[in-house]
């Protein structure tokens, strides 16, 4: 007997929803920070990733216990080179060869290392990390050459992680350029990324933009809950701040004229306590909506889902200032902090249900204004 049109429509909707769920599931990772004195051991953390269907991880340094626990887990990894190691890796290629042997070759492919992040948020001007800026690109190149010598440069991409303070005026996004005083730092890195076919890792935090300018940036725009477009940039309309910030990075890269580089969001999160606008409800809404959003691309690059790493796995009580202690998705006792899930059948379905029921009506949004 032929299916009714209603049944066919239902099957098609289910199929499309399943594809959407799998895409969203594939884009999300979680950053595993270790700056706490009450965190579970690495093997239990990896089990927690697996039991929550978290399939990607960012690790900030080559912690050997974590790398050992990651063997045969199937979890894809951004492996970090700490800023403190940059000088040694930049000035002596043999150090880079040894670093790759110890932390990559000893584990790959049983540990699915996808990217190596050489340095995190090094600021070339006016910062405590500024003296390190001269070492970032040479360290990247030495690590890259060590990876290339093993024939792994197409499987493991070498990059660095920046934040959005390197951008100049970011509105409208299409006009964004890197600041003049950082161009001599970032342009050669972009050139290397074009050559190597590697993405630029970027930490994107709508929370800090909202906190810094709550008069002009509405909470709904920051939390993905605005019902309509808020900003117009030529042919592009922006309904949320995350897309606008990410497209500002895309435009800044494009406006260098050097070449096409993809962007991976290597951190994004919202704190649950500790400062203005930082509370459980806002964090719950932001993170849940982000998980459901990243498979759709941005207005400037709608064809490209956004690989995104949530910050962070745990609240970390050794971090400062106070707000940095409250970004965790889990408590140190391994209990989930928030209602959403990370895998297909959890996060996206719950998000759809929440929106259908009236998202703003059921979950209060606290701006603390």
Q: Is 267 a catalytic residue?
A: yes
For residue 25, the number of C-alpha atoms closer than 13 Å in the C-beta half-sphere is 19
For residue 292, the number of C-alpha atoms closer than 13 Å in the C-beta half-sphere is 23
- Tokens encoding 73: 């887990």
Residue of 254, 258, 252 lying closest to 176 (CA atoms): 252
Q: What's the sign of the alpha-carbon dihedral 44, 50, 51, 53? A: positive
Q: Cβ of 228: how many Cβ atoms within 10 Å?
A: 7
128: Cβ contacts below 8 Å, ≥ 6 apart? none
CA angle 111, 161, 138 (to 5 degrees): 90
> What is the Cα–Cα distance from 107 to 101, expressed in whole angstroms?
9
List 76, 267, 307, 316, catalytic entry: 267
Q: What's the sign of the alpha-carbon dihedral 312, 243, 212, 127? A: positive
202 φ, ψ (degrees, to nearest 5): -135, 130
**Could you list the active site residues?**
121, 267
């Amino acid at each position: 007997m032929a299916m009714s049109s209603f049944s066919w429509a239902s099957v098609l909707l289910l199929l499309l929803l399943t594809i959407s769920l799998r895409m969203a599931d594939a884009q999300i990772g979680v950053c595993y920070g270790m700056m706490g004195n009450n965190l579970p051991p690495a093997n239990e953390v990896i089990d927690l990733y697996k039991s929550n269907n978290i399939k990607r991880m960012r690790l900030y340094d080559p912690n050997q216990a974590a790398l050992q626990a990651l063997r045969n887990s199937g979890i894809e990894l951004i492996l970090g080179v700490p800023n403190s190691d940059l000088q040694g890796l930049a000035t002596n290629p043999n150090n880079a060869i040894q670093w790759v042997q110890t932390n990559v070759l000893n584990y790959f492919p049983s540990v699915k290392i996808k990217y190596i992040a050489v340095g995190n948020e090094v600021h070339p001007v006016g910062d405590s990390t500024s003296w390190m800026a001269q070492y970032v690109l040479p360290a990247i190149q030495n690590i890259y050459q060590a990876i290339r010598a093993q024939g792994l440069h197409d499987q493991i991409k070498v990059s660095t992680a920046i934040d959005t303070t390197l951008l100049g005026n970011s509105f409208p996004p299409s006009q964004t350029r890197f600041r003049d005083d950082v161009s001599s730092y970032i342009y050669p890195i972009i050139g290397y990324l074009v050559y190597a076919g590697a993405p630029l890792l970027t930490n994107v935090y709508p929370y800090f933009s909202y906190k810094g300018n709550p008069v002009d940036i509405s909470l709904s725009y920051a939390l993905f809950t605005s019902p309509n477009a808020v900003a117009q940039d030529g042919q592009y309309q922006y309904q949320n701040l995350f897309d606008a910030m990410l497209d500002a990075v895309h435009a800044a890269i494009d406006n260098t004229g050097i070449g096409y580089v993809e962007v991976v969001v290597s951190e994004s999160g919202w704190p649950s306590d500790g400062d203005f606008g930082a509370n459980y409800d806002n964090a719950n809404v932001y993170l849940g909506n982000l998980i459901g959003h990243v498979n759709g691309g941005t207005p400037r690059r709608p064809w490209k889902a956004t690989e995104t790493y949530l910050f962070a796995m745990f609240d970390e009580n050794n971090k400062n200032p106070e707000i940095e202690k409250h970004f965790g998705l889990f408590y140190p006792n391994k209990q989930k902090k928030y209602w959403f899930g990370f895998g297909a059948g959890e996060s996206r379905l719950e998000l759809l249900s929440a929106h259908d029921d009236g998202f703003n009506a059921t979950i209060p949004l606290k701006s603390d204004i």
